[in-house]
Structure formats: structure tokens, C-alpha cells
């Protein structure tokens, strides 16, 4: 495993971070058991992963806490999130603090390394900064969390308006950002700011459905070609990104996707989710590989550098429970 420093937090973190939400939810979203999920987490620890990202909305905090209970606390970096935005648009300081206390109990820990506001839309940012942050900073002073972070509502904020504002404010030590091969605008919109202000970045949406499901990629490419946004010949190919797979390049489109984001200046941790041991190993292996060949990176920039908001499909949140489902 390779490690880096997460911005101004000073935390030494693995460049591969295990996400406990998304479509998989450690396999719980695809029918696996809690014992299976615990096994995935412990296997990730054995492979050198030390950063784990969960959230109150995911329903995986207790599983993560159970899995890490036998690991020395100072060997892992636990990140979780307070409901905000999509899952709780009327978030109050009292609710955020109560959620923090519940998360501490669920995770079975005395402190959370990075406590994040979950899915803050541009229109909600002033409320997050002026109402919620002061309350969480008081809890930070009590030792309940070491650092504060904030995460984007990627499908609702493809231009990264919220993160651009948050990066300058000096309150948020980390930001969770969407960036991938066909949604590259964080390169100019976000990463110069996070690097300047030493905000640690957690990278989401590296793969998701657009690269893990060939039929989704092909359908998206046809739509983009019909709108004149990509060359027409890409719409006629069953595997429009097969130019990335060659002896000196990537072994698969998913391999290319992880390598593309991993080596982008400004990216600290690449988050990935899985409930499968083989995928766990292959995802980490891809994240640890060298950058894609320069010619392939240049072609990706030429073909897709102008696209915004492609492939940002989010998990469905149940209106009853507020938790992630896989519809």
C-alpha cells in the first residue's frame, strides 16, 4: 500500500480508501451478510487500507465499528457523515450533534477522525457554514472528532460550486469530490483551490455504473454523440473506451478509471466500494499501478475534457429510512 498526508489534517492515509456506502454498502446492498461485510473490511485492513468512509445514511457504521474493534484505534482513520442535503434538508445544529453522538456509539469509538456534512448543495452551504459548523467545532474541541469535512451533492452540483466556496473558508479540513474520466472539470475548478488551502481530498465516483456496466457506457456514449458532444464513431463501438486497453496501457476500463483518478494532482484518497474479495484485490491493485500512458491521458482529455455531469448517478435514498438502497 502507498500512503499520503490528507491535506492539513496531517493524517497518514492509504491512497485507497474503502467506501462503506454506494451501491454495494460492503455487499449488504447486494444480499451479502454482515459477517461477509466484516470480512471485507478486515481483508482491506490486511491489504494496508487504513481509511474507511461511512455515513449515518448508509447503515454500515455498526458493521464498520465491529470489524475494526480488534484493530488498534490509531492504525485506522474513520470518516463518517452527518445527514444534510438530500437526506436531511432541514438539518439543525442540534440534529448534527445528535447524529455525531449516535455515530460514535454505532462505531464503538471515542472519536471520529473526519466528521463530514453529507451532500451539501450550493444553496445549503451558507446554512452549513453559519449554523452547523460552529456547533460541530464545539464538539471538536471536546474531542469527539478530530477534523471537519464536507461532501458534494455531485449530481446536483456538477460544477463544484459548493466545494469551491468551502475550500477557501478555513473550516473544512477535507472535501469529498466527484472526478472521473468523463467528468474532469474538478481539475481546473477544485484541485488548484484544495491544494492551495491544503484541503484533503477524498475522491468519489471514480467508477460507478458508467464504467462498471458496459451497457451503461455504450448507451451514454450514444446519447452524447447524438448531442454532438463526442465524436460519432464512439457511438458505433460496443466498447467505446477499448483504446485504453492494450499491452502498455490498462488491463480493463475499470483499471483505467482507477489509474486515471489516482494520479491526478490534487487527489489524495481514491474511494472505492465493494462487497467482493476479488474486486477488493483488483481495485486496490489498479489504484496502486502507475499512471496511464501519456498518449491515453491526452486522448481522454481531448475526447471528454469538456464534459460536465456525465456518469454521476447516485444511489437511491429510501424516503422511509433515509438509507441507501440500490434501485
Given a cut of 50, is residue 284 above it in pLDDT? yes
Cβ proximity of 80 and 52 under 8 Å? no
DSSP code of residue 219: H
How do residues 58-79 score in pLDDT, each as one tens digit?
A: 999 999 999 999 999 999 999 9
Across the range 226-250, mean pLDDT stands at 95
- pLDDT at residue number 327: 28
- Provide the grid cell at 61: 457504521
Sign, CA torsion 258/25/12/198: positive
Across the range 123-131, mean pLDDT stands at 92
Q: Can you list the domains of the chain with their CATH numbers?
A: 3-214+241-292 (3.20.20.100)
Across the range 101-111, mean pLDDT stands at 98
How do residues 136-187 score in pLDDT, each as one tens digit?
A: 999 999 999 999 999 999 999 999 999 999 999 999 999 999 999 999 999 9
Cβ proximity of 270 and 262 under 8 Å? yes
Q: How far is CA 304 from CA 15, 86, 141, 231, 297, in A?
A: 25, 28, 44, 10, 10
Across the range 177-201, mean pLDDT stands at 98
**Whole-number average pLDDT of the chain:** 93
- Residue 116's closest CA among 58, 43, 36? 58
Nearest 5°: the CA angle 252, 271, 292 is 35
What is the rounded radius of gyration, in angstroms, for the C-alpha atoms of the chain?
19
Q: Is this prediction's pTM over 0.85?
A: yes
What pLDDT band is residue 90 in, cutting at 50, 70 and 90?
low
- pLDDT at residue number 145: 98
Amino acid at each position: 500500500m502507498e500512503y499520503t498526508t490528507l491535506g492539513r489534517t496531517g493524517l497518514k492515509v492509504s491512497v485507497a480508501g474503502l467506501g462503506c456506502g454506494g451501491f454495494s454498502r460492503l455487499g449488504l446492498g447486494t444480499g451479502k451478510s454482515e459477517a461477509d461485510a466484516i470480512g471485507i473490511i478486515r481483508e482491506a485492513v490486511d491489504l494496508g487500507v487504513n481509511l474507511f468512509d461511512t455515513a449515518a445514511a448508509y447503515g454500515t457504521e455498526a458493521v464498520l465499528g465491529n470489524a475494526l474493534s480488534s484493530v488498534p484505534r490509531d492504525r485506522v482513520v474513520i470518516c463518517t457523515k452527518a445527514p444534510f442535503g438530500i437526506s436531511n434538508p432541514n438539518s439543525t445544529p442540534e440534529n448534527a450533534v445528535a447524529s455525531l453522538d449516535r455515530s460514535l456509539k454505532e462505531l464503538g469509538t471515542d472519536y471520529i477522525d473526519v466528521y463530514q456534512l453529507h451532500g451539501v448543495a450550493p444553496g445549503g452551504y451558507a446554512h452549513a457554514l453559519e449554523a452547523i459548523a460552529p456547533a460541530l467545532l464545539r464538539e471538536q474541541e471536546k474531542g469527539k472528532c478530530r477534523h471537519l469535512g464536507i461532501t458534494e451533492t455531485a449530481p446536483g452540483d456538477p460544477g463544484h460550486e459548493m466545494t469551491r466556496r468551502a475550500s477557501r473558508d478555513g473550516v473544512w479540513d477535507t472535501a469529498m469530490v466527484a472526478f472521473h474520466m468523463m467528468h474532469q472539470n474538478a481539475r481546473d475548478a477544485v484541485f488548484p483551490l484544495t491544494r492551495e488551502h491544503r484541503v484533503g481530498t477524498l475522491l468519489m465516483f471514480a467508477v460507478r455504473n458508467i464504467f462498471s456496466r458496459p451497457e451503461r457506457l455504450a448507451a451514454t456514449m450514444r446519447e452524447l454523440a447524438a448531442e454532438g458532444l463526442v465524436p460519432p464513431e464512439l457511438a458505433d463501438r460496443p466498447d467505446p473506451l477499448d483504446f485504453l486497453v492494450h499491452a502498455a496501457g490498462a488491463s480493463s476500463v475499470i483499471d483505467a478509471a482507477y489509474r486515471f483518478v489516482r494520479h491526478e494532482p490534487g487527489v489524495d484518497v481514491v474511494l472505492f466500494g465493494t462487497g467482493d474479495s476479488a474486486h477488493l484485490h483488483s481495485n486496490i491493485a489498479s489504484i496502486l499501478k502507475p499512471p496511464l500512458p501519456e498518449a491515453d491521458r491526452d486522448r481522454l482529455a481531448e475526447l471528454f475534457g469538456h464534459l460536465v455531469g456525465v456518469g454521476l448517478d447516485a444511489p437511491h435514498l429510501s424516503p422511509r429510512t433515509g438509507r441507501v438502497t440500490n434501485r
